[in-house]
């Protein structure tokens, strides 16, 4: 099972270390992580996606909650949540027709094109992890030179 | 606001917390603290190894239920206390460790005696602090003590760079602090308790499983009232040993890997368990899914993360177990519920207890585990405090030494730290100089911290080391005999050292005994002694601890003496 956790923590040095250490020492998995200052700069917001069975995820939430530097831990319901990840791909251009094809794929996904060169092209997409995976699969037909992902950022929809 | 140095502020803050003694060892990076310690009214108890300072603070904390304090310098001094922090944290013992650190501008430069102790200690402490300005020290100390002793107690580390100790700053000493991410107490949910009572009353074979939480919150009277009102037999975890008087008719003793046969038997037969302040460790419950099979579990604990961690619960009550038990008792009084002594389950439990009392085969000989520990119980005043080391002697203590006065038995149960018992006994003696303190020890464990004899003698903290001596790392030897076809390796201590001479070389008393009468006399001599007494009790190295629930099996499948 895949879960999105939204964790509000004290904005102090060392907290990211403590949170990731907790995952390691309790044998939990981090699928992705993104961290940034919260609207109140005294806090940071971490968004961690994780994989585990129901019991494990319940334990992760409880153990995170128990940490003294965490203010709030929420498990977000993915149906009521907007969650997005940003990815950058650099793809090799081997023949002239590649540029056109990749442009078409990018258009279909709503991905932006950056740094288009004769021998490579860079794509940017902000989407759900599933959509990003799909794009990556389509691009795998060409040679993927490099990629970077941000990890998921998530907010529950209003009223929840 | 007065302007004083960080080190002076540290002593003032400790004094404000009521600290009367610290256990420690000085070094370069904590000299400013020691200089202020010299000028303060706080007693310094010098150790010969920092690990022992941490264990002493731990023992002090468990007995006094206030954080024990230890000091160590930076680098190796700090890394030497890691085992002590981990031991205290694993057993939810309140402790504040204060280490020196290299000056702020040297941190991260691999300076002499620099270690990233905050990073190293992180997984084994409840919380840690590294103040970067002297003015932070009063608040850090206040928070440190608050975190160490509230909720589920634990180990706190305060790492203070040398210049932060030396620098002067205007100091404000807060009387109250708030930590926004920390909510140590939850009010027990009365509805959940009502549900728990209904479940308990509707079950036909209920059992109370008392864990270490009962001892930590000193809920002895509440537990006893509840057990007596409902006539429910009480088993304990090993850490909960002595949460309930073990001579009480309802007491069945500790369950677990080396639990009492009758306790494991009754636990396996029960249909409902009221588990109080326990984390269902593998050593207590055996195979997790076997334990919870056909068993309704009511779980009381102060730590919400323990609910559902190892066992599936039917009813959970989060909160201080003493507060929860008080509500139990009050609701039962309102309902005027009382069970008669003549119920089938209680009669069965009594029969099972009686059966094992008669039929548990014991090792033959004069100085055997059962005989020597029963002799200790016979001679020792009921209020005496007992600590143990880790190994066969520890499990024999669980089997054959009955705790009569609740909360007088302490052991390193979670981390299982050999070498804990002796320094912890010295810490316990510092907390309760009015009571006799005995460390039930094995030779292998005692070796690890035996240099604490110096502390015991020189700081006038006399305790008895009840040395169950088989000159063997006995528990390992037992496993090699049982599971490795007697391929004995790394267990023979080859009659080294001579414990009488060792004790005497430190100015302590050493007595070797050859029979039970001599043992009785030696204990009496130890009780009267002004210095530590090491009683060397030679036993048969082939004696096993039995019964034995092999790892990964269920309580039903215990191995019995053949």
Q: DSSP letters of B66-110?
A: S-EEEEE-STHHHHHTHHHHHHHHHTT--EEEEEEE--GGGTTTT
Are the C-beta atoms of residues B539 and B368 closer than 8 Å to each other? yes
CA distance B552 to B539: 30
- Residue A160 pLDDT exceeds 60: no
Q: How far is CA B382 from the centre of its chain?
A: 19
Same domain membership, residue A96 and residue A145 = yes
Cα angle: A147, vertex A151, A154; to 5 degrees: 145
For residue A14, the chain B residue with the least C-alpha distance is: B119
CATH number at residue A108: 3.30.70.1150
Q: Three-class SS of residue B432?
A: coil
State the pLDDT at residue A37.
95
Cα(B371)–Cα(B396) distance, integer angstroms: 10
A66 and A98 co-located in one domain: no
Report the distance separating Cα B515 and Cα B311, nearest Å: 46
Length of chain B: 562
Secondary structure (3-state) at B128: strand
Work out how many CB contacts closer than 8 A connect A with B.
35
Q: What is the pLDDT of residue B561?
A: 87
Residues 6+ apart with CB under 8 A from A39: none
Residue range(s) defining the domain that contains residue A152: 82-156
Give A 13-42 residues with CB within 8 A of chain B.
14, 17-18, 21, 25
Out of A20, A53, A76, pick the residue that ends a domain: A76
Q: Same domain for A68 and A7?
A: yes
Q: Give yes or no: B60 in active site.
A: no
CA dist., res. B194 & res. B453, Å (int): 52
Backbone angles phi, psi at B256, to 5 degrees: 120, -170
Same domain (yes/no): A29, A90: no
| Averaged confidence pLDDT in chain B | 96
- Does residue A158 register a pLDDT over 90? no
Name residue B535's beta-bridge partners.
B466, B511
pLDDT at site B507: 98
Catalytic: B162?
A: yes
Query: What is the least distance, in Å, from the CA of B156 to any CA of chain A?
Result: 12
Total number of domains constituting chain A: 2
Residue of B540, B257, B532, B553 whose CA lies nearest to B394: B257
Tens digits of pLDDT across chain B (562 residues): 899 999 999 999 999 999 999 999 999 999 999 999 999 999 999 999 999 999 999 999 999 999 999 999 999 999 999 999 999 999 999 999 999 999 999 999 999 999 999 999 999 999 999 999 999 999 999 999 999 999 999 999 999 999 999 999 999 999 999 999 999 988 999 999 999 999 999 999 999 999 999 999 999 999 999 999 999 999 999 999 999 999 999 999 999 999 999 999 999 999 999 999 999 999 999 999 899 999 999 999 999 999 999 999 999 999 999 999 999 999 999 887 667 666 899 999 999 999 999 999 999 999 999 999 999 999 999 999 999 999 999 999 999 999 999 999 999 999 999 999 999 999 999 999 999 999 999 999 999 999 999 999 999 999 999 999 999 999 999 999 999 999 999 999 999 999 999 999 999 999 999 999 999 999 999 999 999 999 999 999 999 999 999 888 998 888 888 8
Min Cα distance A52 → chain B (Å) is: 14
CB within 8 Å of B254: residues ≥ 6 apart? B235, B236, B237, B238, B240, B241, B260, B263, B398
Residues of chain A neighbouring B179 (CB-CB closer than 8 A): 68
When CB atoms are compared, the residue of A58, A66, A68 closest to B308 is A58
Closest to B402 in 3D by CA, of B382, B427, B418, B426: B382
Of A27, A58, A76, the residue that ends a domain is: A76
Neighbour count for residue A126 (Cβ, 10 Å): 15
Q: How many whole angstroms separate alpha carbon B41 and alpha carbon A17?
A: 39
Which residue(s) pair with A75 in the sheet? A5
Nearest residue in A to B182, CA atom: A68
Same domain, A100 and A59: no
Task: Indicate if A115 and A52 belong to the same structural domain.
Answer: no
**What DSSP string runs through B295-306?**
-EEEEEES-GGG
- B501 belongs to the catalytic site: no
Q: Which residue has the tokens 């941490």?
A: B54
Tell me which of B89, B177, B181, B306 to substitute to probe the interface with A (most A C-beta atoms closer than 10 Å).
B181
Interface test with B, best of A19, A44, A57, A68 (most B CBs within 10 A): A68
Together in a domain, A72 and A47: yes
Question: What's the pLDDT score for residue B3?
Answer: 97
Closest CA to A156 of A49, A6, A38: A6
Please report, for the domain that includes residue A66, its CATH number: 3.30.70.260
Q: Which of A51, A76, A101 is the last residue of a domain?
A: A76
Are A149 and A105 members of one domain?
yes
Interface residues on B facing A, Cβ-Cβ cutoff 8 A? 118-119, 122-123, 126-127, 147, 179-182, 303-305, 307-309
- A66 CB neighbours in chain B (<8 A) are 303-305
Q: Give the per-residue pLDDT at B338.
A: 66
Q: Which of B118, B147, B181 sits opposite A70 (nearest CB)?
A: B181
**Predicted confidence (pLDDT) per residue in A61-105, tens digit:** 999 999 999 999 999 998 999 999 999 999 999 998 999 999 999
Q: What structural domains and CATH numbers belong to chain B?
A: 2-171 (3.40.50.970), 190-358 (3.40.50.1220), 364-539 (3.40.50.970)
Both A16 and A72 in one domain: the answer is yes
Whether residues A89 and A140 share a domain: the answer is yes
Question: Per DSSP, which regions of B264-402 are E strands?
Answer: 272-276, 296-301, 315-318, 385-388
Q: What is the pLDDT of residue B110?
A: 95
Are B255 and B239 spatial neighbours (Cβ–Cβ below 8 Å)? no
**pLDDT tens digits for range B314-359:** 999 999 999 999 999 999 998 876 676 668 999 999 999 999 999 9
B71: part of which helix (H) or strand (E)?
Answer: strand B68-72
Same domain, A61 and A104: no
Model pLDDT, residue A120:
96
Nearest to B63 by CA among B436, B401, B445, B402: B436
């Amino acid at each position: 099972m895949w879960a999105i956790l939204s964790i509000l923590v004290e904005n102090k040095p060392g907290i990211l270390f403590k949170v990731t250490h907790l995952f390691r020492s309790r044998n939990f998995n981090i699928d992705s992580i993104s961290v940034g200052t919260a609207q109140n700069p005294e806090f940071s917001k971490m968004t961690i996606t994780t994989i585990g069975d129901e019991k494990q995820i319940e334990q992760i939430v409880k153990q995170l909650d128990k940490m003294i530097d965490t203010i709030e831990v929420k498990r977000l319901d993915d149906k009521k949540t907007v969650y997005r990840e940003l990815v950058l791909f650099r793809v090799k251009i081997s023949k002239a027709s590649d540029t056109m094809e990749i442009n078409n794929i990018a258009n279909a996904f709503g991905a932006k094109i950056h740094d288009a060169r004769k021998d490579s092209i860079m794509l940017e997409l902000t989407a759900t992890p599933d959509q990003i995976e799909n794009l990556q699969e389509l691009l795998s037909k060409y040679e993927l030179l490099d990629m970077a992902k941000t990890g998921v950022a998530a907010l529950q929809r209003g009223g929840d | 606001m007065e302007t004083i140095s960080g080190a002076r502020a540290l002593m003032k803050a400790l004094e404000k917390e009521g600290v009367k003694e610290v256990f420690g060892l000085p070094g370069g990076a904590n000299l400013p603290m020691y200089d202020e310690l010299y000028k303060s009214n706080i007693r310094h108890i010098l150790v010969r190894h920092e690990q022992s300072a941490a264990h002493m603070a731990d023992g002090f904390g468990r007995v006094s239920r206030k954080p024990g304090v230890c000091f160590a310098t930076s680098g190796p001094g700090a890394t030497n206390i890691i085992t002590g922090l981990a031991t205290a944290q694993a057993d939810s013992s309140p402790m504040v460790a204060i280490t020196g650190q290299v000056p702020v501008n040297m941190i991260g430069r691999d300076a002499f005696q620099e270690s990233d102790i905050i990073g190293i200690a992180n997984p084994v402490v409840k919380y840690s602090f590294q103040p970067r300005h002297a003015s932070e020290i009063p608040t850090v100390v206040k928070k440190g003590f608050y975190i160490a002793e509230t909720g589920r107690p634990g180990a706190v580390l305060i790492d203070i760079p040398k210049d932060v100790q030396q620098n002067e700053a205007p100091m404000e000493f807060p009387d109250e602090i708030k930590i926004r991410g920390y909510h140590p107490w939850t009010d027990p949910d009365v509805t959940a308790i009502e549900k728990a009572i209904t479940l308990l009353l509707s079950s036909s074979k209920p059992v109370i499983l008392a864990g270490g939480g009962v001892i930590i919150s000193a809920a002895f009277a509440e537990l006893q009232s509840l057990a007596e009102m409902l006539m429910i037999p009480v088993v304990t975890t090993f850490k909960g040993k002595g949460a309930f008087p073990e001579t009480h008719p309802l007491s069945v003793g500790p369950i677990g890997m080396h639990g009492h046969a009758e306790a494991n038997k009754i636990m396996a037969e029960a249909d409902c368990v009221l588990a109080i302040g326990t984390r269902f460790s593998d050593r207590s419950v055996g195979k997790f899914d076997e334990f919870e099979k056909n068993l309704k579990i009511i779980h009381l604990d102060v730590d919400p993360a323990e609910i559902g961690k190892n066992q599936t619960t039917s009813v959970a009550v989060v909160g201080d177990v003493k507060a929860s038990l008080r509500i139990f008792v009050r609701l039962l009084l309102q309902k005027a519920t009382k069970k008669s002594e003549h119920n089938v389950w209680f009669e069965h439990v009594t029969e099972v207890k009686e059966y094992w009392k008669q039929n548990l085969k014991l090792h033959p000989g004069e100085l055997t585990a059962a005989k020597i520990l029963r002799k200790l119980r016979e001679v020792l005043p009921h209020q005496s405090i007992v600590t143990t080391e880790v190994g066969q002697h520890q499990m024999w203590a669980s089997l054959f030494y009955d705790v009569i006065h609740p909360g007088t038995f302490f052991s390193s149960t979670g981390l299982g730290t050999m070498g804990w018992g002796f320094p912890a006994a010295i810490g316990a003696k510092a907390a309760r100089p009015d009571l006799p303190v005995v460390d039930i020890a094995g030779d292998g464990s005692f070796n690890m911290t035996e240099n604490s004899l110096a502390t015991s003698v020189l700081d006038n903290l006399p305790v008895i080391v009840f040395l169950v001596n088989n000159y063997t790392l006995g528990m390992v030897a037992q496993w090699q005999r049982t599971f490795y076809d007697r391929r004995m390796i790394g267990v023979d201590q080859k009659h080294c050292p001579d414990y009488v001479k060792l004790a005497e070389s430190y100015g302590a008393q050493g007595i070797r005994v050859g029979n039970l009468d001599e043992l009785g006399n030696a204990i009496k001599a130890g009780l009267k002694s002004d210095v530590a007494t090491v009683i060397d009790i030679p036993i048969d190295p082939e004696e096993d601890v039995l019964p034995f629930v092999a790892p990964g099996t269920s309580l039903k499948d215990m191995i019995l003496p053949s």
